[in-house]
Chain A
């Protein structure tokens, strides 16, 4: 009776934490109903088995009184105490029995280690229930209705499997019905797991797309900043030229000569021949990244032969090129050289970015190790995704102190 009393109190406590109103009422009803039901079934069985469904109904009812979430949430929450209690009891019974006796011996355990088992199970149950309630109340778990349904099904299947196995374990005789139900539950759980894996994969893809969108936005902001800086630079140079013209008009040749010399030196350092192919996004990325590279003392050499429109969308060209070049700049070696080649005709588009490195950089599987800096790692992932989406080919090599990433999109190879 004391054990049932403690168990009922811990379950009632779990529901009370989740309740948003009528907490005292929730505790009292949950405690009384759970205790009464447990006392009732204990008159003829150790475990509630499939009758534990009654406890689900009690849970759902008290959570409704306590105003804890929507219908799906209440169903899910009402399943948790039974699952926790059953999982902890089974796990500890099997685990402790094997540790002490070297085999599963429920009868000996009950006769000789009863107090230890009660203490252990209650401590684990209360900790897990409190932890679950804490996570739910803090809203650490965000999930869709579909996820909730999957979890409800998974919990029900787990609980059914545990109930079936418990009856075999505690009654110590072969029962094909319980064994069959356990097997079916496990198979059902596997199916649920597969659906969940598919769901997780879809969500991961969505996250990756969202990250790619963020990258585009970041690039656009960078480009805007670059444009503003260029405009300011241009305005300043116009002012300098105006000043030179004024000096010329006033006939101050001495000053004119030295000022013109200064301006020429400055222009020699800053002005790069702009990349101008028929692909506007390619031009923009290359011009911007060349400025970025130059500012870091890196020489970027471009060899471009773009005779046809690229087989990628503008966004994809931005993403592909910016990630390739950022990657080259990030992994630059002491030689500080980057060679960019791009070629397109009516059937193929290929691009290669080769940057100097010090030694080898690729890991044993031929992959580029992810940078530990925040936001890194998505670059290569984004490149790979674009290559995969367009059935392209990518080759990485790190020979002769140079890291080369070569990419090909070809209509000459079709599936």
Chain B
């Protein structure tokens, strides 16, 4: 790439599409990057190209964010990608799946049975009436879960510890 380096391209991709997974490939055995703030999904060493590429794709395919929730209502069924879901809340004797594009899906199920269909690395109970998508959590202050869209969800004391542990686990996966 004449006149541009990989970091600049990665930064632009991140700006245009923050959800993109970026894999860096370098000649250096010891990658020492400083002063750049990029969410790099995987590093590939050129000397170990085959092996590292395989590991990178395995990590991508194993990532819980790429799955989808299958919703069935009567004869209709719909796949909602996990990455689109913000939270799932109890609504009377039904549940509502709230998505990032403000769409909502009413499902005749219990929250407990819905939870068993979701990956535990990505979803957790905030209280007995709300399941949150951990990747949509911006921060947890005390018992208040601040979502990336600015909304607040109050977590129950009983569920808070597991929620925090899963969020910490998710942050580690994202950062490392």
**Chain A residues proximal to chain B, CB less than 8 Å:** 272-273, 275-278, 290, 299-307, 341, 343, 345, 348, 350-352, 393, 395, 406-408, 410-415
- How far, in whole Å, are A147 and B139 apart by their CA atoms in the complex? 46
Interface membership of B164, Cβ < 8 A: yes
In contact, B140 and A278 (Cβ under 8 angstroms): no
- How far, in whole Å, are A275 and B30 apart by their CA atoms in the complex? 9
In contact, A350 and B176 (Cβ under 8 angstroms): yes
In contact, B169 and A393 (Cβ under 8 angstroms): yes
A352-B169 contact in complex given A307-B37, A412-B138, C-beta closer than 8 Å: no
Interface membership of B91, Cβ < 8 A: no
Q: Report B-chain residues with C-beta under 8 Å of the C-beta of A277.
A: 32, 34
* CB contact between A352 and one of B31, B164, B176 (< 8 Å): that residue: B176
In contact, A413 and B167 (Cβ under 8 angstroms): yes
In contact, B38 and A305 (Cβ under 8 angstroms): yes
Q: Is the interface of B mostly helix, strand, loop or mixed?
A: mixed
Interface membership of B141, Cβ < 8 A: yes
In contact, A278 and B176 (Cβ under 8 angstroms): no
A350-B30 contact in complex given A305-B36, A413-B164, A414-B142, C-beta closer than 8 Å: no
Q: Report A-chain residues with C-beta under 8 Å of the C-beta of B164.
A: 393, 413
A273-B175 contact in complex given A345-B37, A393-B168, C-beta closer than 8 Å: no
Q: Give the number of residue pairs across the A-B interface with Cβ within 8 Å.
A: 86
Q: Report A-chain residues with C-beta under 8 Å of the C-beta of B175.
A: 343, 348, 350, 408
Interface membership of B29, Cβ < 8 A: yes
Q: Report A-chain residues with C-beta under 8 Å of the C-beta of B16.
A: none
Q: Name A274's closest neighbour in chain B (CB-CB).
A: B32
- How far, in whole Å, are A300 and B141 apart by their CA atoms in the complex? 37
Q: Name B168's closest neighbour in chain A (CB-CB).
A: A393
How many chain B residues sit at the interface, stated as a range, is: 20 to 34
Q: Report B-chain residues with C-beta under 8 Å of the C-beta of A272.
A: 30
Q: Report B-chain residues with C-beta under 8 Å of the C-beta of A302.
A: 30-32
In contact, B36 and A307 (Cβ under 8 angstroms): yes
Q: Chain A nearest CB: distance from B53 CB in Å?
A: 16
* CB contact between B171 and one of A303, A305, A348 (< 8 Å): that residue: A348
In contact, A412 and B34 (Cβ under 8 angstroms): no
- How far, in whole Å, are A407 and B172 apart by their CA atoms in the complex? 7
In contact, A406 and B172 (Cβ under 8 angstroms): yes
- How far, in whole Å, are A343 and B32 apart by their CA atoms in the complex? 11
Q: Report A-chain residues with C-beta under 8 Å of the C-beta of B140.
A: 412-414
Chain B, range 32-60, C-beta contacts under 8 Å to A: 32-38, 40, 43, 45
In contact, B29 and A301 (Cβ under 8 angstroms): yes
In contact, A414 and B169 (Cβ under 8 angstroms): no
Interface membership of B165, Cβ < 8 A: yes
Q: Report A-chain residues with C-beta under 8 Å of the C-beta of B141.
A: 414
In contact, A350 and B142 (Cβ under 8 angstroms): no
In contact, B168 and A413 (Cβ under 8 angstroms): yes
Q: Report B-chain residues with C-beta under 8 Å of the C-beta of A411.
A: 139
- How far, in whole Å, are A319 and B54 apart by their CA atoms in the complex? 34
Q: Name A410's closest neighbour in chain B (CB-CB).
A: B171
- How far, in whole Å, are A50 and B5 apart by their CA atoms in the complex? 89
Q: Report A-chain residues with C-beta under 8 Å of the C-beta of B35.
A: 278, 307
